[in-house]
A and B are shown apart, each in its own frame.
Chain A
Amino acid sequence: MTLPDASQKAIDDYLTALRRQLRDLMEEDMNDIVEEIRAHILDKTTAGADPAQVAHTLAALGAPRDLAARYCTEEMMRRAEAHRSNTQKARIAGRWTVGILAGLLVLLVSAVGYSLGGFLIIIGIAKLMWPKGTGLWEANYPDGTWGLGFSGGSGNAPPANSHDLLGWWIYPIGFILGPAILYGTFRLGRWTLRKLWPSRKKFNYATTEPQTEI
C-alpha cells in the first residue's frame, strides 16, 4: 500500500514516539507491540489516505505516551525485570567460566614458562661453575641403551659414555634464551589477564596503593 509522504511520516513519527515510551519493556515485547500497532494503523488506513485520515486513525489510538502507559502494566514490567536479571545472570556465569578456564590456562603456561626459563638460567650458571660436568649430554651405553639429558653440579667431569651436544652454546641458551622465556611468560600472562579483566584498574582507582599490574 502506498501512502503520501506526509501520511507515512505521521505514522513513522507516531511509532517512533511509541517505541521511545516503551523503552522499559523487553526489546522483544517492544518490537511486537510496535509492529502490531503498525499493522492496525495500516489496516485502518486505505491506500492513498491523506494526512487527515491518518491523523484520525492515530487519534483513535490515543497519544503515544498514553498508549504506552497502558502497556507498561505490572505483569509486563515484571517480565522485563525477570528477563533483565536472567540475561545478567547468564552473562556473569559466562564471564566466570571463561575467566576460570583462561586463568587455569595462564597458570599452566606460566608454570611451564617460568620453570623452563629458570632451569635454563640455572644450567648456564652451573656451566660457569662446573664447565666440564655441565651440558646437554647424549649417552650411548655399552648395553645399547641411549640417554639424553642436562646435568650440572654433580662434579666437574662429564658423565660416563657421554658427549656434550651444546658445548659453549649453553651460555647463550642459559643467559639469553632463559631470561627471554621468563620475560615472554610474564608478558603473555599480563596481557592475557588484562584482556580478561580490562576494567580492573578502573575499579581500583580509589586505592592509595600503586596499581598492581599482573
Chain B
Amino acid sequence: MEENQTVNPESADKWEIQLRKGSLELAILAALWGGRLYGLEILRHLESGSDLVVAEGTVYPLLTRLRALGLVESEWVESDSGHPRKYYTLTAAGRERALEMGRTWARFAASLNNLLTPLNGAVKKETP
C-alpha cells in the first residue's frame, strides 16, 4: 500500500517526455513560421527559444513524417560548408495545421491553468 502512495519519479519523467513529444510537432511548425530552416537550425531554434531538450534523433524523423503528411516541403540547397543542406518550408496545409494546433494549445493551456488554480500557491512557493 505504501508503494502506491509515494510518487514514482519514473512515471513523472515519462509524463514529461510524452508532453514534450506531443508538443514537438507544434514547436517545429512554429519554428518554420518565419521562413525556411534546415534540421540543425530547427534544433538550435528549439533549444534557444525554450527549455525543450530535444533529442536530435527525434527531430529528423518527425520532419520526414511532416513532409510525408504534406505539412512541410523540403529542398536541398548547396552551402558554403561544402555539403548541401535540406531546408524545410511550411506548406499552405502546414500553416493551417500550425494555426489550428496553436489555437488548440492555447485553449487547452488556459483551461488547464484554470484547473491548476488551487495548486498555484504551492507551485509559486517552490519556484525561487
Which A residues form the contact surface with B (CB < 8 A)? 1, 29, 32-33, 35-40, 42-44, 60-62, 66-67, 70-71, 73, 75-76, 79
Contact = CB atoms under 8 A, between A and B. Distances in A.
A75 B40 contact: no
3 pairs of A and B residues whose beta carbons are closest in the complex: A70-B61, A62-B57, A75-B68
Nearest to A70: B61
A60 B57 contact: yes
26 contacts: A1-B81, A32-B64, A35-B76, A36-B39, A36-B60, A36-B86, A38-B83, A39-B39, A39-B84, A40-B40, A40-B60, A42-B82, A43-B40, A44-B40, A60-B55, A60-B56, A60-B57, A61-B56, A61-B57, A62-B55, A70-B57, A71-B61, A71-B64, A73-B65, A75-B68, A76-B68
B69 interface: yes
Contacts, number: 61
Interface of B: 38-40, 55-58, 60-62, 64-65, 68-69, 76, 81-86
Contacts of B60: 33, 36-37, 40, 67, 71
Contacts of A75: 65, 68-69
Contact of A32 (B61, B82, B86): B86
Given A33-B64, A76-B65, A76-B68, A42 B83 contact: yes
A61 to B, nearest CB: 5
A52 B80 CA distance: 25
Nearest to A29: B64
A32 B73 CA distance: 13
Nearest to B41: A43
Contacts of A42: 81-83
A33 B64 CA distance: 8
A38 B39 CA distance: 11
A73 B39 contact: no
Contacts of A33: 60, 64
